[in-house]
Structure 1
Amino acid sequence: MSIKQKLSRAAVGLSAATLFSASLFSGTALATEKVRWQVPLAFPSHLVGLTTPVKYLTDQLKTISGGNIQLRYYEPGELVPPFEIMDAVSTGKYPAGYTWIGYDQGTIPALPLYSGAPFNLEPESYLAWYYQGDGQELLQEIYAERNIHPMLCSLIGPEGAGWFAKPINNLEDFDGLRIRFAGIGGKVLEKLGASVTMVPGGEIYQALERKTIDATEFSQPAIDKMLGLDQIIKNYIMPGWHQTLTTSHLLVNKDVWNKLQPETRALVELGCRAATLHGFAESEWSQPTALRDYEKEGVKAQVLPEPVLRELEKVTNEVLDEMAASDPMFSRVLTSQREFMKHHAIWKGKGYLPRDFYQYD
């Protein structure tokens, strides 16, 4: 897409936002049709920044539409298991679902590049690539085959790299571990000799307690604390090399989406953008408090040495290249991301202060 095309698209978006604002202040009804959606969740609704955006989305849509748009979300397993949300939306069993789309990597290999990948885009650059670059259009193309309209509806920063009984000092320390690890990071650890399994978030505590796994990652410090992972293991590894960000998406059955009035579709889209911003702010506010609480409670937050991170990056690139060679869409998305990261690097490297200016002590 040319710069001229992108500027033209941005102008259209600005005009739409202006009209949206004008209609708000003029009192004009923004949506007249009634929408009543049951929305299964992949994670419990109280997880800060991860699923709390869907609560914000629900409340705001109901208010701004005068009660015409109402979403009712359901906790994991109440309607369908977390790993079955995509299929339930695709077939029309439910009109929409809110999920971490990386769960469906076995069916669609490219999805972990959208849900959070190792040594990949960080939140601000991801948003630029997704909304202004190829990201959103490629994701819509991916889901079109499954009769789904996807919307980014949550974005948070990097995860912790996980909870391990012992510190990680070199790559050999991963060999032989039975570990719960999601996404492409799990494939990296498999290459290093770990035995990787996928356990839903609500079952991780029990898996650690019963010693069916030796180690785990799940999400950010504040969310891991909500799951009580620090009650079992006291060694926390950082940074989240395997997921430089985490997203959640609202998936809507395409037949349902296409039948909506344009005003209703615009409200849901804008609602998801607002929910993403709200959730990101909420998440960034919560993480330092969680880390400081961990310190008081005797949790050791180990930062991986740079040589280990460099070695992990090397293995990650090998895994990414292997996956790209076996799946054309994965290759298209990865190539788009890598090209944008290279393009964006001049701004990120020169425009932002080095991270050691932001000191912790």
Structure 2
Amino acid sequence: MPVLGTTIRYIADRLEIASGGMLTMKVYEPRELVPSLESLDAVSAGKVDASYSASGYWAGKMPAAPLFSSVPFGPETAEYLAWMFEGNGMKLYQQMYDDAGYNVKAFVCCVLSPETSGWFARPIESGDDLRGLKMRFYGLGGRVMEKLGVAVTLIAGGEIFQALERGVIDATEFSLPTIDQQLGLYNIAKYNYFPGWHQQATLLEMLINGDAWESLAPDQKMLIELVCRDGIVRSITESEGTQFKAMRENADRHGVHIKTWPPQMIDLFRSTWDQVVKDECAANAFFKTVYDDMTQFRENYDLWEKTAFLPRN
């Protein structure tokens, strides 16, 4: 699968080459070793050495986890990575796992560009059109949709097409246009909405069992860190360099209507997100700590962004 699948295999190949064969990583397909949503526990317990996923799937275990994966109306790729690696992001990220008792070492190893905002069977023109829909939605964006009256469920990517086909869900979001195209979502849902307000950038993680990590020599640890950074660069270039082709093919070959949310819908999503984040901060102290830290970084970054970059429009 583009980006999602190619990045971890790229990392495995680079790791073996760079280590002269001393470090190897065999990549298994999802659910081949353990169920996808049980991988964190499996790595922590040492049942598997490592996993590749997104921290947003652990929201039920650690409420702040989605903040290290994607944030509605959150930072784009460069700003997100700047907070993670130059701000306090990585420190807070590892602290989250440590404080929750997980025996893992956490790495960011892949970044997805903005995702599509959803695939629908009919046009969505107002909040009323969302109410009552059954929709697959990921992370904190799913909390926004729930407040808007959507019945949200989290389904693994490989199960989405069947769920749409059987009517288990009415609509879905999943990932980039290239990835959604491979899932064949265009066969059922012909209205594809942008921008992905819920996931302007998505960080994917590699978790390594803590004991396995500590057993490595310092040069081996450094090599894994460097190869993960290389995976980030590779994922960004693949994400950015391939989406326009998929969008054109979806429209020209598959009859997909590429739609842009009108300003009033973006305003609705944003105001609802403001309510969600207020609730989450009140409910969980560590969520508030992480979100406040990210917000402070973004406020500082804003001076640079507004001064240094050309306007987009």
- Provide the TM-score with structure 2 as the length reference: 0.97
Q: Which residue of 2 aligns with 1:201?
A: 157
Give the alignment of 1:303-322 within 5 angstroms: 303-322=260-279
Q: Which residue of 1 aligns with 2:297?
A: 340
Matching residue's letter, 2:103: N
Q: Verify the 8 A CA contact 2:116 2:193 in the aligned structure 1.
A: yes
Shift of 1:166: 1.6
Does the alignment pair 1:171 with 2:127?
Answer: yes
Q: Which residue of 1 aligns with 2:17?
A: 63
Runs (5+) with no aligned partner, structure 1: 1-46, 357-361
Shift of 1:350: 2.5
Residue deviations 1:329-353, cap 9 Å, x none?
1111110111111111122122222
Q: Which structure has the larger Rg?
A: 1
Shift of 1:95: 1.1
Residue deviations 1:1-26, cap 9 Å, x none?
xxxxxxxxxxxxxxxxxxxxxxxxxx
Tell me how many residue pairs correspond in the alignment.
310
Given candidates 184, 188, 211, the residue that maps to 2:144 is 188
Shift of 1:231: 1.2
Q: Which residue of 2 aligns with 1:10?
A: none
Q: Secondary structure at the residue paired with 1:155?
A: strand
Q: Secondary structure at the residue paired with 2:296?
A: helix
Given candidates 120, 127, 140, the residue that maps to 2:81 is 127
Matching residue's letter, 1:213: I
Q: Verify the 8 A CA contact 2:115 2:196 in the aligned structure 1.
A: yes
Q: Verify the 8 A CA contact 1:159 1:245 in the aligned structure 2.
A: yes
Q: Verify the 8 A CA contact 1:160 1:221 in the aligned structure 2.
A: yes
Percent same amino acid among aligned pairs? 41
Task: Give the distance between the partners of 2:144 and 2:117, measured in 1 at CA.
Answer: 13
Task: Give the distance between the partners of 1:289 and 1:200, measured in 2 at CA.
Answer: 25
Q: Verify the 8 A CA contact 2:122 2:190 in the aligned structure 1.
A: no
Segments of 4+ in structure 1 off by > 3 A?
A: none
Matching residue's letter, 1:138: L
Does the alignment pair 1:101 with 2:49?
Answer: no
- Provide the TM-score with structure 1 as the length reference: 0.84
User: Looking at both structures, which has the greater relative contact order when contacts are Cα pairs under 8 Å and sequence separation is at least 6?
Assistant: 2
Runs (5+) with no aligned partner, structure 2: none
Q: Verify the 8 A CA contact 2:15 2:227 in the aligned structure 1.
A: yes
Q: Secondary structure at the residue paired with 1:179?
A: strand
Task: Give the distance between the partners of 1:150 and 1:245, measured in 2 at CA.
Answer: 18
Does the alignment pair 1:139 with 2:93?
Answer: yes
Shift of 1:51: 2.7
Q: Which residue of 1 aligns with 2:286?
A: 329
Task: Give the distance between the partners of 2:251 and 2:157, measured in 1 at CA.
Answer: 24
